[in-house]
Amino acid sequence: MRATALFALTMTLLPSAPAQDRTQARSQVITQRGIAATSQTLASQAGAIILARGGSAVDAAIAANATLTVVEPMMNGIGGDLFAIVREPSGKLTGLNSSGPAPRALTPDALRAKGHTTVPEEGIWGVTVPGCVEGWAQLHRKYGKLPWADLFAPAIHYARHGYPVTEWIASAWQSGVPKLTNDDNARRVFLRDGLAPKVGELFRNPSLAAALELIAKQGPDAFYKGDIAKAIVKTARRHGGPLAAADLASYQAEWVEPISTDYRGWRVFELPPNSQGLAALSMLNLMERFDLPSYDPFSASAFHLKIEAQKLAYADLNRYVGEPRTSRISTAQLISKPYAAARAALINPDKAACEFDAGSPQLPSAGDTIYLSTVDSSGMVVSLIQSIYLSFGSGVVVDDYGFHLHNRGALFTLDKGHPNELAPGKRPFHTIIPGYMEKGTQHIGFGIMGGLNQAQAHAQFVSYIVDHGMNIQAAMEAPRFTKLNFSGCDVKIERRLPTNIIENLRDRGHYVQLEPSFASAMGGGQAVIHDSAHKVNYGASDPRKDGAAVPEPDAWFPKR
């Protein structure tokens, strides 16, 4: 009986049709050893090799992320922030919030004195303390098995010796040329004769190699107190910005308890504010009020209900989410089932609503990012997301070290009394979120990047698995919608949906904007599964990126 039950549970993640009849393009990666799934194949390979050398899933994630800072520089880097969820082999879940605060001198009055009515998206005044390197260090101290310095060997190699630029990344690089042109360091490091590198062109960044070598040799102190810190402060001063040595030296990441909800028998986990993870859980709570499993996954009715759930969840996200240490937000109430039931009653199954107000819980008296997931043979799963926010971040490249500072401070508001109001030493609202879900012996680390796209993409991915029986690769490839604002009936949908479905949505009042079949606006994602009953791991990678899920190689040859 037990074997039959386990087999039935495993089958929920397998294609419902024979492989030769399926609509997905790729198969899952399936192995008894570890997997690294990232948005660029060289980074996935780096993670897989670290696993083969005896590293943990955390070691693999750090090595893969460090490599991505080199090969996908517009999306992530040591000048940005990091969040992670780790499933330990025992089954325990732990979250890490490694997002940095506003500098002590970054105040609303200081910005208004310079003529700003919002925190600028470009330039030094949108820069908050970068948390990435501190996040790597905390993860390695707790879960690392290999020496710290070993994890940076792949990234240093590609920064020093070069790598051929891949397709999606080349396109994003080209789109960033105007921002790169505005900064002397950026123009010198990332452009050649004013041009972005083309597909297949070899690119080197020896300045970034020097920074990574210092971090490998000296640990995080090199970044927060040593030569890199000095270069960051020098760069900030040259631009007239507020970031100071004390802001960097005092930074520490925070271990946090993931928040979760039950979705039709699956437990789905996100990280608490200051990130947008609760919006994914809110969407799922709303979607659970409707009989989505009975719908065709690509029907107008299924898409309509999910779009309306997104609007309700994001209205609350916009109103209530900010730094929890300085706001009165009640996360537990926002993701409670009774609250979702009351909010779901506002959804008209036949008509789109162009405006939803935020709810009234009883409170107490595009971006650019990388996401990766790893799993090892012990069952450790890492769901990790890292970003410099908008493409090439603030546009400011640090003197001598070839990396951008992020512009995450641009997500603060100057509205007095808002939970996300700018204040010195406060962390801004964050779009980047790692996801995790499990049921029985199935443990899935997943994520999909892309600014405000992320929470709604998470909910759609979960629904494709839970409501429609797709495996992780099919769920990652399936058509998605996205809505990158907080009001209106506009929505972006991939054009793979049949014309009659699109017209049905328009008839319901949705202003549908068709996107390419695999659109970058929908974000790129990765996922891994650890099957704890059979000790088998699965991996999936999104075709909306240049990456792959790469398995750890087996030890085929005897040691010499």
**Any idea which residues carry the catalytic annotation?**
369
> For residue 240, is it left (φ>0), alpha (ψ between -120 and 50) or beta?
left
Strand partners, 550: 36
Q: Are strands 163-164 and 202-203 parallel, antiparallel or unpaired?
A: antiparallel
Neighbours of 498 (CB within 10 A): 12
Please check whether residue 247 is in contact with residue 127, taking contact to mean a CB–CB distance below 8 angstroms: no
Q: How is residue 34 written in tokens?
A: 């570890």
Half-sphere exposure of 243 (CA within 13 A, CB side): 33
Half-sphere exposure of 233 (CA within 13 A, CB side): 16
Return d(Cα 283, Cα 483) in angstroms, integer.
13
Residue type present at position 323: E
Q: Name the H helices within 250-298.
A: 277-287
Please check whether residue 518 is in contact with residue 494, taking contact to mean a CB–CB distance below 8 angstroms: yes
Beta carbons within 8 Å of 254's beta carbon, 6+ residues apart? 96, 97, 98
Strand partners, 195: 192
Give SS3 for 101: coil
Residue 299 CB-density burial (10 A; 0-12 exposed, 13-18 middle, 19+ buried): middle
Return d(Cα 335, Cα 356) in angstroms, integer.
17
Strand partners, 202: 164
Q: How is residue 13 written in tokens?
A: 């993640």
Q: How is residue 560 written in tokens?
A: 């010499």
Give SS3 for 384: strand
Q: How is residue 218 written in tokens?
A: 């000296």
